[in-house]
Structure 1
Amino acid sequence: MEWTGARYADKPTVEVRIWVDAPPERVWEFVSDVELMPEMSDELQTVEWLDGATRPALGARFIGRSRHAALGEWATTSHIVECEPGRVLAWAVQDPAQPSAIWRFRLEPRDGGTELSQWMQMGPGRSGLCSAIDRMPDKEQKIVFVRMREFERSMTVTLAHIKTLAEA
């Protein structure tokens, strides 16, 4: 687990990894089922494919509805920007050219199983966090740090959940 960057404009990132005792094809079943993600998250409440999509493919879109005690409730549209079955799935939140975040799963065959990583980048496009930073610019680094730690904890739970499902 590591994260980099201190200010929003730095596009800070965080990545979490776990080894799964299952082949990448099996792990992919759960990674690629974005409608399953709310079961693994305190924040993400629902996910719904848009435009008739039913699974990840380049350019496919889905809407995610989230809730956070300090940030309220919101919905975002995500765009699949990388999709290689059994290897990588990534989506850009809101505007793919200026996303408020990018999320990525990577699957690598390792030691008879799969090394699964989840990575995210905050920014460069504006997100709900920017309102808090606008109100308290002197606390930007702390706001970003706290949010990145929340993401790290959530990602750790998500990967552990995927591991449990894939190994069952």
Structure 2
Amino acid sequence: MADPTANAHVEVAAAPELVYRLITDLDTLARLSGELEGGEWIDEAGSPEQGMRFRGANRNGDKTWTTVATVRAAERGRRFAFDVDDADTPVSHWEYELRSTEQGCVVTERTWDRRPSWYTSVSAEVTGEADRDAANQRNIEATLRALKLEAERQ
């Protein structure tokens, strides 16, 4: 896979298993995220598993849109990844990687823009964001700061 189009990491003084639970709980992730406002599992969810799908409700200013994501990796305490598609059009791949440390873990969040070139103007109109890579970078950094605070508070 090519280099991610946006990514950041943060050291968290909390166990990777706790952090994993936070990022795979859609309500918590929505609370921590810059654009995600809420989510619901489309497929029956006890805990996320590869192949399961969820719907995300997103907002950027006065623009709102929904997405459908398919879980590509669900390795408890290690990795959570999913693809976002618009019907048959690939949009993005997102990944959270957790690496244990003596003090807790390092969390890396990455995304890869998978949109075909013809789709970028459609996406900009729907989301109100012409520079998706810059917006994703800002959102990742904000999400990781909020995740660190939440995990260390628990």
The interval holding the TM-score normalised by the smaller chain is 0.7 to 0.9
Structure 2 CA distance for partners of 1:128 and 1:37, relative to 1, 3 Å? farther
Query: Which of residues 38, 58, 62 is equivalent to 1:66?
Result: 58
SS at match of 2:90: coil
CA shift, 1:166, in A, is 1.3
Q: What is the RMSD of the two structures over their aligned residues, measured on CA atoms? A: 3.0
- Residue of structure 2 equivalent to 1:51: 43
Query: C-alpha distance in 1, partners of 2:74/2:103?
Result: 23
Equivalent residue runs for 1:1-168 within 5 Å? 13-69=5-61, 72-94=63-85, 99-125=90-116, 129-131=120-122, 146-168=131-153
Cα 1:133–1:86, aligned 2, differ >3 Å: closer, same or farther? closer
Displaced runs of 4 or more, over 6 A? none
TM-score normalised by the chain length of structure 1: 0.76
Structure 2 CA distance for partners of 1:114 and 1:30, relative to 1, 3 Å: same
Q: TM-score normalized by structure 2?
A: 0.82
Shift of 1:47: 0.4
Question: Which one has the largest radius of gyration?
Answer: 1
- TM-superposed deviation, 1:35: 2.6
Letter in 1 for 2:77: G
CA separation in 2, counterparts of 1:95 and 1:27? 28
Q: What is the percent sequence identity of the aligned residues?
A: 27
Tell me how far 1:158 sits from its aligned partner. Answer: 0.9
Distance change >3 Å, CA 96–CA 75, structure 1 → 2: closer
Note the residue ranges of structure 2 that are not aligned, 5 or more in a row. Answer: none
